[in-house]
Amino acid sequence: MTKIKLLIHAEDGSFPHLSEYLLRKYFNPKDETIKDHFILGIAVKDTCIQPIYTAKESKKKRKRQESDGEEKKVAPKPTGYTFDTATLHEQTRLMEGYNTFAVPSFDLVDDAKVQMEKDASNRLKNPQKNSTKEGQKSIASVTSTKNHLSLITPNGLQQITPELYTQVGNKLKCDHLLALFDQANLEEGKKRKAAACERSKAWLGLCQKSHQSTTECKSKLWAAFSCHDSKWTLNDSIQYITEYKQSLEGIAIVGLHHVQSRAERKDLVKKISSSFNPKPALAMLAVPDLSQLFDAVECGTEIISTSLPVTWARSNKLFNVLKVKSEEVGSDGCIDLSDEKYARDTSPLLEGCQCMSCRDSRYNKAYVHHLIKANELLAQILLFGHNLFQLLTLFKEELSSDDLDLSKVRELYE
């Protein structure tokens, strides 16, 4: 029986939304389900970014301080940022015992798109600073050179070399480590795609070398397979990953969701898995919806990374209410609790659910609806707790079942 695992991004190295008190009670790493079906994704871009302080003082400041007579305690400002870390627990105080998977980022192109939107909205706010020309088509692009990748971090764009990345990744002591990779936007030209492929190849080599030379306890190394397009770079990628096959735990497919056609996506994964013998362990990063999640399971993916429980919670959605009132449920398997019709709905969030928000018929729909309307953070906490529990239940009870009939599961949701 394959135990399909859900990989959730631990934003800033923290379990999203839940305090240790709730984690111990409801998502304890010692629980069977958590052990078998849950992995926390640690992104180096937001977990390992550290400020640098260099003892530099401007003349002006020094003069001012001198004239003040007494020495004032001035809070230093970081002069730059770098990537460094201690072990994951020391660095973030994340509860110990979870399966963990360190990655540079879950999808570099998605990061670039978010950044571009942010920049655009900033430009709207400050039209004077608008430097891009009107009508100029811009593509969200990942910045990289032969020697480094520019990661989009909470402290801006920061360069990381494959050596530094592996060093930092090893220090985290996560169970799994994804090698540094480059990723081209599908809309970019052949040249950029070829360069990205070339860099991913070189960086995998460097990562593998530095990983091998580490004497301490090691994370299992994964290679990233960036999906640029179905023809152009595919064979090149397959070829270079095959070279390192022996030292790899598996292959993480990155950016598949950018490929628009479902058939093309399926083809691509089929080609990847059939090109290796024996079949490699597959992980799929940044799966955007349930349909693609089921496709991933169908292709034999073991680890599926998705931000669905968080995005559902942030958009007021309650997952897996299919068995209750199917007519209200959207195609994503959710109901939108911000809908006015739940204002007086005293029924529990989900009958029979044993999650932190539902068990002992704890909270009803009307209360969570009220929290949403009142813009209370507790709404997100309760919804996230429920959605994660339900998605894990789906992974454990249906997707990992021996007699899995995916078409039946699909029918329920689509």
Partner 1 sequence: METKVTWESRKRNREDGADDNLDDTKRAATDTNEEKAKVKSSTDVPTASQFIVPADQFLSLPPELQDVDFTKRVSWRKFAPYTKEVLPLTPEGQEPEFKEDSPALCFHVHATSGRARATTLHLPSSRKVQTPIFMPVGTKGTIKALTTEEICNDPALNCPIILGNTYHLALQPGTELVRDMGGLHKFMRWDRGILTDSGGFQMVSLLKLAEITEDGVEFENPFLKDSKERMMLRPEDSITHQNNIGSDIMMALDDVVSSVTDNDERFEIATYRTLRWLDRCYAAHTRPKEQNLFAIVQGGLDTKVGGLREKCLAGFRARDKMIPGYAIGGLAGGESKEDFWKVVNQCCKSLPDDKPRYLMGVGYPLDLVVCSALGVDMYDCVYPTRTARFGVALVPGEAPGTLRLKSNEFSEDTRVIMEGCECAACKGGYSRARLHTLLKRNNPLAATLMTNHNIAYMMYLVRGMRKAIMEDRYASYVKDFINDQFRGSANGGQDVPEWVRDALNEAGIKV
The residues of the shown chain that bind partner 1, judged by CB under 8 A, are: 11-12, 14-22, 46, 51, 53, 73, 75-78, 91-93, 154, 343-344, 346, 356, 362-364, 366-367, 369-371, 373-374, 376-378, 380-382
Task: Tell me whether residue 195 or residue 337 sits nearer to partner 1 (CB atom).
Answer: 337
Query: What residues contact residue 377 under an 8 Å CB cut-off, 6+ apart?
Result: none
Q: Which CB atom, from 14 or from 214, has the smaller least distance to partner 1?
A: 14
Instruction: Provide the 10 A C-beta neighbour count for residue 197.
Output: 23
Tokens representing residue 286 in the block: 């940044």
What minimum distance in Å lies between the beta carbon of 92 and partner 1?
7
Report the first-to-last Cα separation within the chain, whole angstroms.
Answer: 25
Instruction: Choose between 75 and 263: whose C-beta lies nearer to partner 1.
Output: 75
Return the number of the residue (16 or 169) whose C-beta is nearest partner 1: 16
Q: Which residues contact 306 (CB under 8 A, 6 or more apart)?
A: 6, 7, 8, 286, 287, 288, 293
Compute the least distance from the CB of residue 263 to partner 1, in Å: 39
Q: Closest distance between partner 1 and the C-beta of residue 75, in Å?
A: 4
Ranges of beta strands (E only) in 185-331 are 220-226, 250-254, 281-284, 303-305, 317-319
User: Minimum distance between the CB of residue 367 and partner 1, rounded to whole angstroms?
Assistant: 6
Which one, 35 or 370, has the nearer CB to partner 1? 370
Measured CA distances, 263 to 174, 176, 229 (Å): 35, 30, 13
- What is the rounded distance in angstroms from the CA atom of residue 361 to the CA atom of residue 356? 10
Q: How far is the CB of 9 from partner 1 (least distance, A)?
A: 12
Query: Of the two residues 174 and 382, which places its CB atom closer to partner 1 in the complex?
Result: 382
Q: Minimum distance from CB of 137 to partner 1 (Å)?
A: 32
CB 211 → partner 1: shortest distance, Å?
27
3-class SS letters over 303-356: EEECCHHHHHHHCCEEECCCCCCHHHCCCCCEEECCCHHHCCCCCECCCCCCCC
Distance CA 286, CA 282 (A): 13
d(CA 66, CA 57): 13
1 or 377: whose CB is closer to partner 1? 377
